[in-house]
Amino acid sequence: MAETSSSAAADSSTAFALALYGEHAAQGKNVLFSPASLIAALAMVWMGSRGETAEEIVQTLRLPQDPEARKAAFAALASQSRSFPGCTISGANVL
């Protein structure tokens, strides 16, 4: 299950990042953004949202439709993003 969750999270993250980049790069300007930071912030908003807002965030982030699959995907992504041998990664997000 963890591998499937990791794959779903990676696929969703990549699709979101490429779509966002495509929209901004089409303007012919340099683009720099952190998909991981944007996804983390939107994920926190999604967890507190309901109804149409929650569904729009799910669609924007290209998340799995199944709520349990979404939670598993986020958990797998969070777990993997902190597990690089020899490295310590700390992050903070505040809304």
Contact 63, 11 (CB under 8 A): no
Contact 84, 91 (CB under 8 A): no
Q: Tell me the average pLDDT across 57-86.
A: 78
The Cα–Cα gap between 67 and 72 comes to 9
Q: Is the pLDDT of residue 22 over 70?
A: yes
The Cα–Cα gap between 41 and 39 comes to 5
In the prediction, which pLDDT does 35 show? Answer: 85
pTM of the model: 0.68
In the prediction, which pLDDT does 81 show? Answer: 63
In the prediction, which pLDDT does 95 show? Answer: 53
The Cα–Cα gap between 55 and 77 comes to 20
In the prediction, which pLDDT does 50 show? Answer: 94
